[in-house]
Copies of this chain bind each other. A is one copy, B any other.
Amino acid sequence: MTARYSEDELIARLFAPIAGPAGLGLADDAALLPASAEPTVATVDMLVAGVHFFPDDPPALIAKKALRVNLSDLAAKGAEPIGFLLALALPHDWTNAWLTAFAQGLGEDAKAYAAPLIGGDTTATPGPLTISITALGRAPRFVPRAGARPGDAVFVSGTIGDAALGLVLRRDPALAARLPAEARAHLDDRYRLPRPRLDLVAALRAQATAAMDVSDGLAGDLAKLCRASGVSAVVEAPLVPLSPAAQEAIARAPAHFETALTGGDDYEILFTAGPGRDPPPGAVRIGEIVAGRTAPTFLDATKTQIVFGKMSFSHF
């Protein structure tokens, strides 16, 4: 085996550059965040090789995904990132090359999203690579899950189902082969690399009565938002925005419309706003909040209720 970095070398060479001056926590027991007049928002996600990503995915993409799923949670709450802490359990066969690429990907995103590494912990594990990132942000107004009220419109940003369809294509090469290369590439990229919608933070703070990111599937996540708010919803499924690539996949395998509405990893924002509100650019109205405690109703083009085999995706 080639020589590998010691823990100190690893921090000094790979992680300190991601931290910048904010990275006191890398050389101390803890990170220090200056006092602020705004509340702090904190979220954690743990990703395990073989569960949340393929162990042979490019390390830079794994790093970016691990950070971005957390930034997506911040965005949904109307929070701008302050920084993040990284806990990393490395399997016995890690290499300097792998970890260098991982750190490089992480550094690119830390810079792109103005979210420096502020602290962390590294350990060995006899199991798979495990990454836990805690992201911290600030929000003058925290947008809760529990704020939806009957009469509110339901909005969703971007397009839904691309990531879930990207995963389908990995597992169904026959379907993948029937799609144009461009559509395949789009869906695969959307599966591998979430785009946290931090561009919507200002609009969410201004308009949203409730919000969450769509990580476990639109249908199941809307059910969670409704449950938290003590309401129900009616969604017109034809209004759910689909990318051209998703439309091509669904045209060839119509059963995958359900995959698009119930699969995970969209990392778009599902939110509600009072009636008469125009959605921010890039978001569309898909339905409305109604009184009640039942699960949200999804209607097809003939106004017939769609019954899903499975509401959402779970790694648990």
Contacts and interface: CB of A to CB of B under 8 A. Distances in A.
Contacts of A132: 44, 46, 87, 121, 132
A201 B185 CA distance: 54
A40 interface: yes
B41 A142 contact: no
A202 interface: no
B41 A32 contact: yes
A48 B124 contact: yes
Contacts of A172: none
Contacts of A7: 314, 316
B77 A28 contact: yes
Contacts of A38: 35
Interface string A115-131: 00011111111111010
Interface string A295-306: 000000000000
A290 B79 CA distance: 46
A27 interface: yes
A182 interface: no
A196 to B, nearest CB: 12
A134 interface: yes
A35 B38 CA distance: 5
A45 B121 contact: yes
A44 B130 contact: no
> Which of A44, A121, A125 has most B Cβ within 10 Å?
A44
Contacts of A51: 123-126
Contact of A44 (B79, B85, B144): B85
A242 interface: no
A136 interface: yes
Contacts of A291: none
Interface string A1-37: 0000011000000000000000011011111111111
B146 A28 contact: yes
Nearest to A7: B316
Interface in A245-268: none
A258 to B, nearest CB: 21
A146 B23 CA distance: 13
A81 B74 CA distance: 22
A85 B146 contact: no
A142 B228 CA distance: 37
A89 interface: yes
A152 interface: no
12 contacts: A7-B314, A25-B42, A25-B43, A29-B73, A30-B137, A31-B42, A34-B39, A44-B87, A44-B121, A52-B123, A122-B316, A130-B130
Interface of A: 6-7, 24-25, 27-48, 50-52, 73-74, 76-77, 79, 85-89, 118-128, 130, 132, 134, 136-137, 139, 142, 144-146, 212-213, 228, 314-316
Rank and list the top 4 A-B pairs by shortest CB-CB distance, nearest first: A127-B127, A132-B132, A30-B43, A46-B87
